[in-house]
C-alpha cells in the first residue's frame, strides 16, 4: 500500500518529467482514487500500489492534451456529479447561467414541462429535474451513446422517473410531443471555419457533432426556433456563443417571439437568449 503523500510525490515527479501541471496530478488523485481535499492535505490515507501506475498513465494522457474530465470520467455541474465520456461534451460553467435562469423563472410553476434539445451528458435536463422537483423533461439527442450517458446521469442523480430520453435528429423537425412550457437548448454553435482554431483539447477530444453549428454557427438556432413545440406563452431558452446573442435574438424576433431578453455572463457578454411564444 502507498500513502497519499507518497503518491503525491510520485505524481509530482511524473508531472515534472512530462512538463505537465502538478495540480493535474492532485486532481487525478482526488477524482480517480476517491481522495477528499482534506485527505490530500493530511496525506495519510492508504491506496493500492497499483495507483502509482494508474496515475502515470493518466498523466501521460493529460500531457497529450486529453481533458482531465475524460481521464477521471466525471465533471461537476450545478453542484451535481455528471459522468462524462468522449461521447459527450464536458458540461461548461457558462451553461449554469442558462439553468439558473430557468430555475428562477419556473420555481413557482406547478409541474412545468421542458424539452431539452441536444442533451449530451444530460447536464441541463438532470439539473432542471433536480432543482425543480415537479418538472418533467423530455431530452433529445442525435447520439445514442450520449443518450446512454445522460440516462445514467439521471439515474445517478435520482431523477430518472421524470426525464424521457429520445433519440432524434432535430434537423428533421421536432418529434411529435405535447407543447412544452419551455424548450431549452445549448446547441452546437461553433462556426465550421473556427473548428480548426479551437484549443487542441477541445478539437481533438470532444465530439465534433456537439460543436459544429454550420457556416455561421447559427443553423441549430434557426431550425429549433422555427419548429419548437411550445405552449402559447411558453419560453424558448438558448445558450449562445459569446458573440452570437444579438443574432440569435434576431432569429427569435423574426419568428414572432416576444419579450426577447439577452442575459450577460459575469464578463458582460450575452450568453443566454430568451423569448416568449
Ligand atoms: C453543445 S452540445 C450540448 C450538450 C449539453 N446539453 C450541454 O449543455 O453540455 C450539443 C449536443 O447536441 C447534439 N446534437 C448534435 N446534432 C444534433 C441533431 N441534429 N439533433 C439532435 N441533437 C444533436 C450533440 O450530440 C450534443 O450532445
DSSP code string of 42-53: H---EE-THHHH
Q: Domain for residue 117, yes or no? A: yes
Q: Which residue has the cell 458582460?
A: 268
Taking only the tens place, the pLDDT of each residue in 73-112 is 999 999 999 999 999 999 999 999 999 999 999 999 999 9
Same domain? For 90 and 196 the reply is yes
Rounded CA separation 266/21 (Å): 27
Q: What is the CATH number of the domain that holds 120?
A: 3.40.50.150
Q: What is the pLDDT of residue 257?
A: 98
| Within-domain flag for 51 | yes
Q: Looking at the DSSP assignment, which residues form a beta bridge with residue 180?
A: 230
Task: Quick: pLDDT tens for 10-65.
Answer: 999 999 999 999 999 999 999 999 999 999 999 999 999 999 999 999 999 999 99
The predicted pLDDT at position 71 comes to: 97
111 and 167: one domain? yes
Q: For residues 164 and 138, give the distance between their C-alpha atoms in angstroms, rounded to a whole number.
A: 5
145 falls within a domain:
yes
Residue 277, all three cell numbers:
411564444
Q: How many residues does the chain have?
A: 277
179 shares a domain with 268: yes
Looking at the structure, do residues 118 and 55 belong to the same domain, yes or no?
no
Q: From atom 26 of ligand 1, which residue's Cα is the shortest distance away?
A: 210
Domain count along the chain = 2
> Both 114 and 196 in a single domain?
yes
pTM, 2 dp: 0.96
Are 225 and 133 in a shared domain?
Answer: yes
Whether residues 184 and 272 fall in one domain: yes
Q: What are phi and psi of 219, to 5 degrees?
A: -55, -45
Task: Report the C-alpha gap between 41 and 252 in whole angstroms.
Answer: 51
pLDDT in tens, 141-171: 999 999 999 999 999 999 999 999 999 999 9
Q: What is the pLDDT of residues 121-131, one digit of tens each?
A: 999 999 999 99
Closest C-alpha to 137, from 117, 110, 162, 107: 162
- What is the chain's Cα-based Rg? 21
* Section 181-188 average pLDDT: 98
> What is the reported pLDDT for 83?
98
Instruction: Match 423533461 to its residue by C-alpha cell.
Output: 137
How much is the pLDDT for 258? 98
Domain co-membership, 133 together with 224: yes
Residue 13: count other Cβ atoms within 10 Å of its Cβ.
13
Would you say the CB of residue 127 lies under 6 angstroms from ligand 1? no
Q: Which H or E element spans position 238?
A: strand 230-239
Residue 226 has a pLDDT of 97
**Are residues 104 and 30 located together in one domain of the fold?**
no
Instruction: Note down the domain range covering 17.
Output: 2-64
| Cα 267 to ligand 1 centre (Å) | 25
Q: Within this chain, do residues 60 and 131 fall inside the same structural domain, yes or no?
A: no
119 lines ligand 1 (CB under 6 A): yes
Name the residue with cell 431530452: 139
Q: Tell me: the pLDDT tens digits for 113-123?
A: 999 999 999 99
Give pLDDT tens digits for 221-261.
999 999 999 999 999 999 999 999 999 999 999 999 999 99
Grid coordinates representing 144 are 445514442
Among 74, 75, 77, 89, the mutation site with the greatest number of ligand 1 atoms within 8 A of its Cβ is 89
Task: Measure Cα distances from 274 to 26, 49, 144, 238 in Å.
Answer: 40, 52, 28, 6
| pLDDT given for residue 252 in this prediction | 98
Ramachandran quadrant class, 21 (left: phi over 0; alpha: psi -120 to 50; beta: rest): beta
Q: In degrees to the nearest 10, what's the CA dihedral of 166, 172, 173, 177?
A: -30
Query: Which residue has its alpha carbon closest to ligand 1 atom 13?
Result: 118
Question: What pLDDT sits at residue 36?
Answer: 96
In a domain, 79, yes or no: no
> Closest ligand 1 atom, CA of 188?
1
What does the pLDDT read at residue 253?
98
**Does residue 240 have its Cβ closer than 6 Å to ligand 1?**
no
What pLDDT, on a 0 to 100 scale, did the predictor assign at position 181? 98
Q: Which three cell numbers stand for residue 156?
A: 445517478
- Looking at the fold, whether 109 and 207 belong to one and the same domain comes out as yes
Residues 121 and 210 in one domain: yes
Residue 207 confidence class, pLDDT cut points 50, 70, 90: very high
- Is residue 239 in a domain? yes
Residue 17 alpha carbon to ligand 1 centre in Å: 38
Q: How far is the CA of 226 from the centre of ligand 1 (A)?
A: 17
Ligand 1: does its nearest atom lie under 6 Å from the Cβ of 181?
Answer: no
* Best mutation site among 209, 223, 224 for ligand 1 pocket (most ligand atoms within 8 Å of CB): 209
Looking at residue 154, its pLDDT comes to 98
Give the per-residue pLDDT at 57.
Answer: 96
What's the 73 CA to ligand 1 centre distance in angstroms? 19
Work out the end-to-end distance of the chain between its first and last CA atoms, rounded to an integer number of angstroms. 61
Amino acid at each position: 500500500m502507498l500513502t497519499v503523500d507518497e503518491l503525491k510525490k510520485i505524481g509530482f515527479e511524473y508531472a515534472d518529467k512530462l512538463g505537465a501541471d502538478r495540480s493535474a496530478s492532485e486532481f487525478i488523485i482526488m477524482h480517480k482514487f476517491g481522495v477528499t481535499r482534506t485527505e490530500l492535505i493530511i496525506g495519510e490515507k492508504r491506496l493500492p500500489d497499483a495507483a502509482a501506475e494508474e496515475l502515470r498513465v493518466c498523466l501521460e494522457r493529460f500531457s497529450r492534451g486529453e481533458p482531465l474530465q475524460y481521464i477521471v470520467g466525471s465533471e461537476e455541474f450545478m453542484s451535481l456529479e455528471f459522468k462524462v465520456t468522449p461521447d459527450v461534451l464536458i458540461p461548461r460553467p457558462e451553461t449554469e447561467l442558462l439553468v439558473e435562469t430557468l430555475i428562477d423563472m419556473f420555481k413557482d410553476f406547478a409541474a412545468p414541462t421542458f424539452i431539452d434539445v441536444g442533451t449530451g451528458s444530460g447536464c441541463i435536463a438532470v439539473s432542471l429535474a433536480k432543482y425543480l422537483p415537479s418538472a418533467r423533461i423530455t431530452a433529445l439527442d442525435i447520439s445514442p451513446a450520449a443518450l446512454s450517458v445522460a440516462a445514467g446521469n439521471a439515474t445517478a442523480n435520482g431523477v430518472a422517473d421524470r426525464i424521457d430520453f429520445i433519440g432524434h435528429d432535430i434537423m428533421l423537425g421536432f418529434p411529435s410531443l405535447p407543447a412544452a412550457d419551455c424548450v431549452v437548448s445549448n446547441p452546437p454553435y461553433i462556426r465550421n471555419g473556427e473548428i480548426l482554431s479551437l484549443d487542441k483539447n477541445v478539437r481533438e477530444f470532444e465530439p465534433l457533432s456537439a460543436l459544429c453549428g454550420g457556416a455561421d454557427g447559427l443553423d441549430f438556432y434557426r431550425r429549433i426556433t422555427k419548429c419548437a413545440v411550445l405552449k402559447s406563452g411558453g419560453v424558448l431558452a438558448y445558450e449562445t456563443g459569446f458573440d452570437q446573442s444579438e443574432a440569435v435574438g434576431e432569429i427569435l424576433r423574426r419568428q414572432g417571439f416576444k419579450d426577447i431578453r439577452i442575459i450577460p455572463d459575469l464578463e458582460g457578454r450575452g450568453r443566454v437568449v430568451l423569448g416568449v411564444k
